Chain A
Amino acid sequence: MLQIIKRFVNKIFRDIFSSRKILKVGFYGPPNGGKTTLANRICKDWLGEEMGSVSNVAHETREITIKENVTIRSQGKELMFNFVDTPGIATKIDYEDFLKHGFTVRDAKERAKEATKGVIDSITWLDTMDVVLVVLDSTINPYSQVNITIIGNLQARKIPVLIVANKIDLKKSDLNKIKAAFPQYDVVGISAKHGNNIDEFYEALFVLAG
């Protein structure tokens, strides 16, 4: 009798946890938009640790980084996510740009090579995402072909998108320009570095996760 009850309880628990879907969230965008800074902010808020290193030099993230089983609570709800930070997508990578930041020729060439592979990986991984956060620098003109290509490909794959307009703490930030560029998408303005509007971001993430 005890065994039957034990099996029944185990089954109930298994059913509850197996039906609890973990959403795979991709951080996409051009280089230096603040994808890793946002990923770090989320991981620090909910895990107490960072996800990756950040830098002013473009293509700091050159490999896909994954943080699994991150539980987030917002407005009385709780959801579990797997976060995937991706290298910034670009159409050109010039190793000489890295020389300006003090890299040796050898290191600059190696970094450029890794960055090209990172861009390819980012695009390849698009198909595997449940939802995507497109992280854009709100101080930069959003009408770039990289942004249009990323969002267009997500739309073609029917992957839900939230546009995160980052760096709203900066003077040059223009949130309305980003909203005007992508009127069919939800746009949330934040500063991943300083945490401005981060609660609104979590609410938007929950809406996106549906």
Chain B
Amino acid sequence: MLTLQFIPFTEIESLSSDERVGKLLSIVKENKIALVEGTLHKEESAALIKKTMKSINQDFRGIELAVLYPEQNDDAMFKRLRLKLINALLGNRRGLTIIGPASVVKEIKQDPHKIDLYTTINEQKSRKVSKRNKK
């Protein structure tokens, strides 16, 4: 069975980076896929990878991770300023982070505005869940 757990931004907003990473990793270690509202800081992604590596054992083989940063490639000056203002007001609430255990999520294929998530449920027939990021 595939379990998705949605984590609203408000649930991790007040946590320190270390606590945030720890919380997400503990959910994933329960064999659930965490759908997180918002994005992790770049440093938090690196910390998550480090913490994951420390946790790897015979039962836990690691994670698959993808972060969608909306409108990140916009070159227009006005739009970039507007985005900076929104980010300053809302923090990292915008975008979406998906973290799954490697034992369940075989691969996450990513391009700027789309994520394809392949699971290992029924090895022969990997299911494909496609999630489009609406601008």
Contacts and interface: CB of A to CB of B under 8 A. Distances in A.
Nearest to A113: B56
Contacts of A109: 58
Interface residues of A, number: 28
B61 A92 contact: yes
Interface stretch (A64-72, A137-145, A159-167): A137-145
B62 A94 contact: yes
Contacts of B56: 92-93, 112, 116
B132 interface: no
B109 interface: yes
B64 A92 contact: yes
A145 B100 CA distance: 13
Interface residues of B, number: 25
Interface in A100-135: 109, 112, 116-117, 119-120, 123-124, 126
A93 B63 CA distance: 9
B53 A120 contact: yes
Contacts of B52: 91-92
A90 B64 CA distance: 9
Contacts of B73: 183
B58 to A, nearest CB: 8
A149 B47 CA distance: 10
B112 A149 contact: no
B111 A91 contact: no
Interface stretch (A33-41, A150-158, A193-201, A202-210): A150-158
A149 B45 CA distance: 6
Nearest to A96: B61
A157 to B, nearest CB: 9
B45 A92 contact: no
A148 B46 CA distance: 10
Contacts of A183: 73
A84 interface: no
B36 interface: no
B79 to A, nearest CB: 16
A117 B52 CA distance: 11
B64 A155 contact: no
Contacts of B110: 141, 143-145
Given A124-B50, A144-B110, A152-B42, 18 more contacts: A91-B52, A91-B63, A92-B52, A92-B64, A92-B102, A93-B53, A93-B62, A94-B102, A123-B50, A141-B110, A145-B66, A146-B49, A149-B45, A149-B46, A152-B45, A153-B42, A156-B43, A183-B73
26 contacts: A91-B52, A91-B65, A92-B56, A92-B63, A92-B64, A92-B102, A93-B62, A94-B61, A94-B62, A112-B56, A116-B53, A120-B50, A126-B46, A141-B109, A141-B110, A141-B111, A143-B109, A143-B111, A145-B110, A148-B67, A152-B45, A153-B42, A153-B46, A155-B42, A156-B42, A156-B43
